[in-house]
Amino acid sequence: MAYCAMLQRCGIYAGATPEVLACYADRGITVGPEFLPPNGYDNWYNHIGPKPSPELEQDRMDNNGNYVYGNIRWATGSENASNRRWSGQQRFHTYNDKTQTIEQWALELELNYRVLAKKLGQGLTIEEIIKSHRKQIQYTYNGESLTEYGWHCKTGISRQAIRDGFLRGKTIEQILRFYEII
């Protein structure tokens, strides 16, 4: 739950790893008194509202600000990633004279931005990642060929549901029909 994770990151609840604490509590990021127990959950929930979609995550609009009224929202992974500090990792990458952020490359390559950031963090170049990614399986329906992630982005069907369909031997057409997309 986003509320408990917020409290863990800021060192109020136990359970956060040292790496997570270094990015939040050790930087002085705190939770405003309005969101602290015992009544904090109700205040937080009334302010941010229910999570509109499973794909969204809590985000601080000012990345250097605290978890307080007016500075939290539900955001997509890409929006949240665009709002991150980039310690030690290059924010822009160039391939074939095209320079983009990690988020922009992830969208173009139909890769999860965290997967792309992890590969870059492991020392791979954007060129190496692009060349290996082009070997990914494409699934074609009605003349349109997309990866599993591409179909997820296009249809809103979860990647896990698409993957499960393929593991059960279904075609992309059968998966789209099952979810009443076509």
Residue 155 lies in a domain: yes
Residue 28 lies in a domain: yes
- Name the domain count of the chain: 3
Residue 87 lies in a domain: no
pLDDT for 87:
45
Range of the domain at 19: 2-82
Beta bridge partners of 95: 98
Tell me: the pLDDT tens digits for 119-139?
888 888 888 887 776 657 788
Give the Cα separation of 92 and 64 in Å (integer): 21
Beta bridge partners of 100: 93
The residues, any chain, with a CB within 8 Å of residue 7's CB and separated by 6 or more, are 13, 31, 37
Residue 90 has pLDDT above 60, yes or no: no
- Residue 101 and residue 119 share a domain: yes
Q: Is the dihedral of CA 103, 108, 110, 111 positive or negative?
A: negative
- Residue 58 and residue 26 share a domain: yes
Residue 171 has pLDDT above 60, yes or no: yes
Residue 88 has pLDDT above 50, yes or no: no
Residue 114 has pLDDT above 50, yes or no: yes
Task: Please tell me what DSSP assigns to residue 139.
Answer: E
With vertex at residue 135, the alpha carbon angle to CA 157 and CA 156, rounded to the nearest 5 degrees, is 10
pTM equals: 0.51
Please state, as a whole number, how many other Cβ atoms lie within 10 Å of the Cβ of residue 113: 22
